[in-house]
Structure 1
Amino acid sequence: MATWKSRGLRGSALEDMINYTNEIYKSEGLALVQKIPTPITPVNIDRTSRHITLAYFDKKSTVDYIGVVQGIPVCFDAKECAAEIFPLSNVHIHQMEFMRAFEKQAGTAFLIVFFTSKNEAYYIPFSTLSEFWQRMLDGGKKSFSYNELDKSLLINIKNDFMLHYLEQLEIDLKNRYR
């Protein structure tokens, strides 16, 4: 059983941007995408702050977000990266398996990676993520670099907080059906 220990606000800025964006999409009738909570069992709780300080994951989670965009089922995971190299160890095999199965059911799976040093977020289609993953399995690099990403999939950050990823989803869908 895996153990969870708090590491501060790791990843929370990206999740906050995505959650805010998803609320706007919902209010505008563009999409209904929800954050999937990771099921945990608390072990230690700080009595003064009432924060969980130690917990166990109940089971492996799937991805961070699942929903539907104008009739298209979507699922994605959100990751932050301080460097220009993204370690594939940040994506777990059960997540890859879930996204693969999701795509086999005519859904669209992807990864959003926020490169904090560049203040840039990228939409990474599952097909691209799969290529990087296969390269690793074949004995190649266990990461991918910022420079390997399709620059047309840079996600616009609007008003310093909205991560408008639907534009890149549209590009991905057009590329799939060519």
Structure 2
Amino acid sequence: MGTWKTRGLRGSTLEELINRSNDSYREKGLALIQKIPTPITPISIDKESRHITLAYFDQKSTVDYIGAVQGIPVCFDAKECASETFPLQNIHPHQVTFMEEFEKQGGIAFIIVSYTHKNEVYYLPFDQIQCYFQRMEAGGRKSFTYEELDKTWKISSCRDILIHYLELIQKDLDRRD
């Protein structure tokens, strides 16, 4: 069981942008994607602000988002990176297992990575995540670098959709055919 203490806003900027994009997708009838809350048990609560100051995770969470895009099951996680190197420890093995099982059921799994220092966001297909994990398990790097990313997976914005990842889901589907 992990401990949570004042780390609750990590990644919140990216998640807010994704949440707004998901609202736009829903309003347009393009997709229905929901944020999955991380189940926690509060241990300590500040009496004045009524904010949780210490809590324990009830269970391992799977991914941040799950839903459907035009009838296709989709799950993904959102990660922020402030440097050129993304540590694989930020993606937990149980998340990789869940995404693998999700894909075996006919779904699409991926990670959205925001490089905050570059103001760039990328769609990382599950097979690429798997490659990085396999390399690590074989004794290689415990991270991947910005330079390693295929820049054709960069996510752009489109009008009111700030993180327009649907077109990259289509690209992911097209290459599987």
Assess same fold via TM > 0.5: yes
1:139 aligns with 2:139: yes
Q: Distance in 2 between matches of 1:55 and 1:22?
A: 28
C-alpha separation in 1, matches of 2:74 and 2:161:
21
1:80-91 to 2 correspondence within 5 Å? 80-91=80-91
TM-score normalized by structure 1?
0.96
Measure, in 1, the Cα distance between the counterparts of 2:88 and 2:132.
8
Matched residues in 2 for 1:153 and 1:107: separation? 19
The equivalent of 1:107 in structure 2 is 107
Between 143-152 and 23-32, report the one with greater CA deviation.
Answer: 143-152
| Structure 2 residue matching 1:117: 3-state secondary structure | coil
Query: CA offsets, 1:87-127, max 9 Å, x none?
Result: 00000011000000000100000000000000000000000
SS where residue 136 of structure 1 aligns?
helix
* Secondary structure of the structure 2 residue equivalent to 1:68: strand
**Paired amino acid for 2:140:** G
Paired position in structure 2 for 1:31: 31
Q: Tell me the secondary structure at the aligned position of residue 139 of structure 1.
A: coil
Structure 2: gaps of 5 or more residues: none
In 2, Cα distance between the equivalents of 1:159 and 1:88? 33
1:60-109 Cα distance to aligned partner (Å, 9 max, x none): 01000000000110000000000011000000011000000000100000
Cα distance in 1 between the residues matched to 2:4 and 2:161:
28
Over the aligned positions, Cα root-mean-square deviation in angstroms equals 1.2
1:48 match: 48
- Residues in 2 aligned to 1:107 and 1:42: alpha-carbon distance in whole angstroms: 34
Partner residue in 1 for 2:59: 59
Q: Does 1:148 align with 2:153?
A: no
4+ residue runs over 6 A deviation: none
Aligned to 1:9: 9
Paired AA for residue 16 in structure 2: D
Q: Structure 1 counterpart of 2:174, which letter?
A: K
- Give the secondary-structure state (helix, strand or coil) at the position aligned to 2:50: coil
Taking the TM superposition and a 5 Å limit, the aligned residue runs for 1:163-178 are 163-177=163-177
Deviations 1:144-167 (A, max 9, x none): 111111111100034597100011
Q: Distance in 2 between matches of 1:161 and 1:169?
A: 15
What amino acid sits opposite 2:19 in the alignment?
A: N
Task: Note the residue ranges of structure 1 that are not aligned, 5 or more in a row.
Answer: none
SS at match of 1:50: coil
What code does the residue aligned with 1:14 have?
Answer: L
Cα 1:159/1:13, change in 2 over 3 Å: farther
* Number of aligned residue pairs: 177
Quick one: distance in 2 between partners of 1:161 and 1:73?
Answer: 20
